[in-house]
Amino acid sequence: MIQALSYIGFISPAAKEWETFGPEILGAELAGPGPDGSVRLRVDEAAHRISIHPGDHDDLAYLGWAVDGPRALAEAKARLSDLGVTVQQGDSELTTERAVVELAWFVDLFGFRHELSWGQRTVPASFRPGRPMSGFVTGAQGLGHAVLVVPSLADAEAFYCEVMGFRLSDQINAQGMTIRFYHCNTRHHSLALAEVPGVVGYHHLMLETASLDDVGTAYDEVLKREIPLAMTLGRHVNDLMTSFYVRTPSGFEIEYGHGGLQVDDTATTPRAYDSFSIWGHHPPAEPLLPGIARPFPGDDQ
Ligand SMILES: [Fe+2]
């Protein structure tokens, strides 16, 4: 029922820092601020796709998933309700803020908020990158991919595949960790789940550029400004993305890459790998600990 990752929101005490990090490092365009002072970024013709809301701690606020129009949204709501998930209809204030026609949202078993919507507001030929670059690969592949930390892969997979309709692309077992990758369009994965028992968290958002040179020029900028890298330049074994991971002002990483694999849904047989990368993606001498992670279940559960 999900078509693509269409937008994403975070809360952070460092929201303001995205006014420079977004355009000058990522090449995103600043959209006007949100009603709560959120910093909103554009990466294509959509009104905005990344929002950083001011808040007292760093956290993922919501994942925005596109569905195929009003009937698909109604069907999704009915299906979720049948499965015992409480679904709320977004009011006009919320749809205006998210720049969509219609929206419904729910909270999953780990506390992540998902928003399903259709009709993302788009302004053709209007994207102006924040620094010289070729642009981002979006369209039917959506914004990029999101990687969540979950305490149980089995529980997570049951929900995200059976309830939300994601399909497994492949799995990597390496460095004592299992990560599974899921697609909902031709992008190799729009969602990945990393299993860490007892922990819920958010790891990274991947943005794919139109040219390898965009990755190289961003890498130069990160090195020049001595912004912490979570992983050096490298190429992944499964989606073949050439990328690096930079720590954002808000405790999570942006994977900034080019050349990601597209999957043919009819021919996908999940593979398994025992390493993350063909080359590179080395952590720093002092690895960065995930900045968005909390015990699960929490004290209140
Ligand atoms: Fe990634």
Long-range Cβ contacts of 279-283 (<8 Å, 24+ apart): 279/234, 279/235, 280/231, 280/232, 280/233, 280/234, 280/235, 281/231, 281/232, 281/233, 281/234, 281/235, 281/236, 281/243, 281/244, 281/245, 282/231, 282/232, 282/234, 283/230, 283/231
- What is the distance in A from the centroid of ligand 1 to the CA of 244? 9
- What is the distance in A from the centroid of ligand 1 to the CA of 191? 9
Please check the confidence at residue 267 and state whether its pLDDT lies above 70: no
Residue 149 phi, psi (nearest 5)? -100, 125
Say what the pLDDT of residue 268 is: 67
- What is the distance in A from the centroid of ligand 1 to the CA of 286? 21
**What is the arithmetic mean of pLDDT over 111-136?**
97
Say what the pLDDT of residue 299 is: 61
pLDDT bracket for residue 264 (50, 70, 90): confident
Please check the confidence at residue 301 and state whether its pLDDT lies above 90: no
Reading the block at residue 8, the tokens are 């994403």
Polymer length in residues for the chain: 301
- What is the distance in A from the centroid of ligand 1 to the CA of 237? 11
**What is the arithmetic mean of pLDDT over 30-44?**
97
**What is the arithmetic mean of pLDDT over 117-124?**
97
Say what the pLDDT of residue 286 is: 87
* Summary mean pLDDT of the chain: 95
Cα–Cα distance, 204 to 216 (Å, whole number): 19
- What is the distance in A from the centroid of ligand 1 to the CA of 170? 13
Please check the confidence at residue 181 and state whether its pLDDT lies above 60: yes
Say what the pLDDT of residue 83 is: 92
Superfamily of structural domain 139-295: 2,3-Dihydroxybiphenyl 1,2-Dioxygenase, domain 1 (3.10.180.10)
Please check the confidence at residue 107 and state whether its pLDDT lies above 80: yes
Name which residue leads in pLDDT, 285 or 298: 285
Distances (CA, A) of 67 to 8, 31, 74, 101: 15, 24, 10, 12
Please check the confidence at residue 214 and state whether its pLDDT lies above 90: yes
- What is the distance in A from the centroid of ligand 1 to the CA of 144? 9
DSSP calls for 217-235: HHHHHHHHTTPPEEEEEEE
Cα–Cα distance, 158 to 281 (Å, whole number): 30
Please check the confidence at residue 300 and state whether its pLDDT lies above 80: no
Cα–Cα distance, 85 to 81 (Å, whole number): 5
Say what the pLDDT of residue 177 is: 92
Give the list of residues 6+ apart from residue 219 with CB closer than 8 angstroms, or none.
233, 244, 256
Say what the pLDDT of residue 266 is: 57
DSSP-assigned letter for residue 130: S
Say what the pLDDT of residue 287 is: 84
- What is the distance in A from the centroid of ligand 1 to the CA of 213? 19
Q: Which residues of the chain are in CATH 3.10.180.10 domains? A: 4-118, 139-295
Please check the confidence at residue 143 and state whether its pLDDT lies above 70: yes
- What is the distance in A from the centroid of ligand 1 to the CA of 70? 31
**What is the arithmetic mean of pLDDT over 57-80?**
97
pLDDT > 90 in the chain, percent: 92
**What is the arithmetic mean of pLDDT over 171-193?**
96
- Residues 5 and 146: beta-carbon distance below 8 Å: yes
- Residues 145 and 72: beta-carbon distance below 8 Å: no
**What is the arithmetic mean of pLDDT over 137-142?**
97
CA atoms within 13 A on the CB side of 232: 8
Q: What kind of fold does domain 4-118 have according to CATH?
A: 2,3-Dihydroxybiphenyl 1,2-Dioxygenase; domain 1 (3.10.180)
- What is the distance in A from the centroid of ligand 1 to the CA of 20? 23
